[in-house]
A and B are shown apart, each in its own frame.
Chain A
Amino acid sequence: MADAAAITAGQVEHLAELARIAMTSEELEKTAGDLNEILANVARVAEVATDDVPATSHPIPLTNVLRDDVVGSPLTAEQALSGAPASEDGKFLVPQILGED
């Protein structure tokens, strides 16, 4: 089971790149090993999950938690910006965005 789903260092590297996390090759190897161990443990769940137990994303059978479309009290621009490292003209200032035009 764990072998079939084995995580490679290459996959971890891909995920690290997507998550913008710089990792050394030692870290990639170690993380892949750790993840495989976790997967192997979690895989035991498959032994008890039978066809009549559907996959679920939410442990509590709750649906339709909805609110009415009524305006509350938004933050003021000052409050919104109060935690920002930098701002300009009432807007959040972020470093140069690279890549897409």
Chain B
Amino acid sequence: MKYEDAVATYDPALGIEVHVELGTATKMFDDAPNTFGGSANENTTPTSLGLPGALPVVNRMAIEYAIRIGLALGCQIAESCRFARKNYFYPDLAKNFQTSQADEPIAFDGSIDVELEDGTIVPVAIERAHMEEDAGKNTHVGGASGRIHGADHSLVDYNRAGVPLVEIVTHPITGVGDRAPEVAAAYVRTLRDIFRALGVSEARMEQGNVRADINVSLRKDADAPLGTRTETKNVNSFRSIDRAVRYEIARQAEILDQGGAIVQETRHFHESDGSTSSGRPKSDADDYRYFPEPDLVPVAPSRDWVEEIRAGLPELPAARRRRLLDDWGISELEIRDIINAGLLDPVEATVVAGATPDAARKWWMGEIARVAKQREVEADGLATPANVAELQQLIDDGKLNDKLARKVLAGVVEGRGTPSQVMEADGLQIVEDTGALEAAVDEAIAANPDVVEKIRGGKMQAVGALMGPIMKATRGQADAGTAREMILARING
């Protein structure tokens, strides 16, 4: 069924579970390094390998990061919470259980505002944020393209086993209709931006630092009870989240239209064609027999500690955006473009360094972004905010025009110094020596009597024909406005 028809007939509901890997130095329950990459099984201890007798100890920083996340999401922070064992057999965790939190999450009852591209605000209620550990990585050998089916055996790397995770679970998100795919993607993007602002994770989707499980269900109308849901696991980019939700809504609508029933199951998303396929049905396999982890005592964050963490929270992305909109007087669309380009930090720093918001935005979003794209590098590595502010100052002082400024910028990008240094080294400064400019003007007038006649006859646009030779004579460093005034004064004066 077409997506448009599906959302015309059914009311979708979403539930999103986001896992974020915390950027602590060590793992959740042991002091093995928490680093990405490296060779296999070099970041383990007896605890992350689940060896008999090894005991876990909770990482204080991981608790602090989890509290930061909870507070940023407007959650209550538990007075006391326990860890629990989630029992299952799978070789990605050597213990045969994952240490998680069951009925006592560290944070609960929150809400965040998610802003869509057109500025629409969708509030999303957060049910809970709890702490747990990541699992190791399996590689399936012998089957087609690394899949389990047909594999002879699997290889396990436990470097990631025990890396601290916070899982954030929403209440059902309803009432968003045909915008459900966009809302799902925007929600995860909002969380990603918050994680980065809080400094709790690099939050790189492509490295799997942030992973989303997306629950989708349909019902006939907003008054009906929620329908049976499916859970599409591990969707790892904003675009994939949008596509996965879109696909599930259309797929479920078609089944319901034909009188069928939705099977509650986990599903896998396929990047290649944007489809999802059946994983396993929810069944006995999900009987995890949670029980309190006997090897870990409860975590009871003191209210003083929580308030200290709250006081130290940085400005969050939404508040920052509102502040800059007020301060800068630019449009919603302009600031969204800057944010989407990932250039809000350098633009703001450039304004702090003295440039106007318009000038800062123009340089970063224009010439610098263009050069970055051409070189396939990050724009904020090409020049410093101080460089850009100085460059704009040289223009404002009349020492450079836009064209010369771009040449100066190229020198800065090549690492040849500050804008002033490049300008002086290359002799790019606008010619202020009126003698040299006058000589160039006189020469151009003498060499082009026919053009002069046209100007005398009132064809003012013919002035342009004299600018070429003048710019050539002054190596592009003449100020166009001054030259034009001189030409008109000579001819008509």
Q: Which residues of A contact B (CB under 8 A)?
A: 14, 17-18, 20, 57-58, 60, 62-72, 74-77, 80-81, 83, 88-101
**Beta-carbon contacts of B24-50 to A below 8 Å, as 1s and 0s?**
111000111100000111111110010
Of the candidates B41, B51, B287, B297, the one having the most CB atoms from chain A within 10 angstroms of its own CB is B41
| Complex contact B297–A58 (CB within 8 A) | yes
| Complex contact B25–A65 (CB within 8 A) | no
12 contacts between A and B (CB under 8 A): A64-B301, A66-B63, A71-B31, A75-B41, A75-B44, A76-B42, A77-B40, A80-B41, A80-B158, A81-B41, A96-B154, A101-B147
Given A57-B292, A91-B139, A97-B140; A18-B287 close (CB under 8 Å): yes
A29 to chain B, nearest CB (A): 21
B441 to chain A, nearest CB (A): 70
| Complex contact A91–B41 (CB within 8 A) | yes
Judge whether B299 is part of the interface by a CB distance below 8 angstroms: yes
Q: Which 10 A-B pairs have the closest CB atoms?
A: A72-B31, A57-B292, A69-B61, A91-B155, A66-B60, A63-B300, A92-B156, A90-B40, A77-B41, A94-B91
State the CA gap A72–B33 with chains docked (Å): 8
B20 to chain A, nearest CB (A): 17
State the CA gap A17–B139 with chains docked (Å): 26
B230 to chain A, nearest CB (A): 15
Of the candidates A20, A76, A77, the one having the most CB atoms from chain B within 10 angstroms of its own CB is A77
Closest chain B residue to A63 by CB distance? B300
Which one of B42, B61, B153 contacts A94 once the chains associate, using CB atoms below 8 Å? B153
Chain B neighbourhood of A94, CB < 8 A: 91, 153-156
**Beta-carbon contacts of B75-98 to A below 8 Å, as 1s and 0s?**
000001010000101110000000
Q: How many residues of B contact A (CB 8 A)?
A: 60
| Complex contact B45–A69 (CB within 8 A) | no
Chain A neighbourhood of B43, CB < 8 A: 74
State the CA gap A67–B289 with chains docked (Å): 28
**Beta-carbon contacts of B1-34 to A below 8 Å, as 1s and 0s?**
0000000000000000000000011100011110
Given A80-B41, A80-B49; A97-B284 close (CB under 8 Å): no
Chain A neighbourhood of B284, CB < 8 A: 14, 17-18
B376 to chain A, nearest CB (A): 32
Chain B neighbourhood of A60, CB < 8 A: 297
Closest chain B residue to A58 by CB distance? B297
Judge whether B384 is part of the interface by a CB distance below 8 angstroms: no
Closest chain A residue to B149 by CB distance? A101
B14 to chain A, nearest CB (A): 24
Closest chain B residue to A15 by CB distance? B289
Closest chain B residue to A72 by CB distance? B31
Judge whether B312 is part of the interface by a CB distance below 8 angstroms: no
Given A70-B26, A96-B154; A101-B268 close (CB under 8 Å): yes
Q: Which residues of B contact A (CB under 8 A)?
A: 24-26, 30-33, 39-46, 49, 51, 57-63, 80, 82, 87, 89-91, 138-141, 147-149, 151-158, 268, 279-280, 284-285, 287, 289, 292, 294, 296-301
| Complex contact B154–A97 (CB within 8 A) | yes
| Complex contact A97–B148 (CB within 8 A) | yes
| Complex contact B151–A80 (CB within 8 A) | no
| Complex contact B25–A70 (CB within 8 A) | yes
State the CA gap A65–B299 with chains docked (Å): 8
| Complex contact B31–A67 (CB within 8 A) | yes
Which one of A70, A92, A97, A99 contacts B158 once the chains associate, using CB atoms below 8 Å? A92
| Complex contact A65–B26 (CB within 8 A) | no
| Complex contact A90–B41 (CB within 8 A) | yes
State the CA gap A58–B298 with chains docked (Å): 8
B44 to chain A, nearest CB (A): 5
In the complex, besides A63-B300, A91-B157, A99-B280, 14 extra interface pairs with C-beta distance below 8 angstroms are: A18-B87, A57-B292, A66-B58, A67-B60, A69-B25, A71-B25, A80-B44, A92-B41, A92-B157, A93-B153, A94-B91, A97-B154, A99-B148, A100-B280
State the CA gap A60–B31 with chains docked (Å): 25
State the CA gap A58–B297 with chains docked (Å): 7
Chain B neighbourhood of A65, CB < 8 A: 57-58, 296-297
| Complex contact A75–B152 (CB within 8 A) | no
| Complex contact B294–A96 (CB within 8 A) | no
Given A91-B40, A91-B155, A101-B147; A67-B90 close (CB under 8 Å): no
Given A65-B58, A68-B60; A74-B155 close (CB under 8 Å): no
Chain A neighbourhood of B89, CB < 8 A: 20
State the CA gap A18–B49 with chains docked (Å): 22
Chain A neighbourhood of B152, CB < 8 A: 96
Chain A neighbourhood of B25, CB < 8 A: 69-71
| Complex contact B39–A77 (CB within 8 A) | yes
Given A18-B289, A101-B279; A67-B91 close (CB under 8 Å): no
Closest chain B residue to A17 by CB distance? B284
Chain A neighbourhood of B49, CB < 8 A: 75, 80
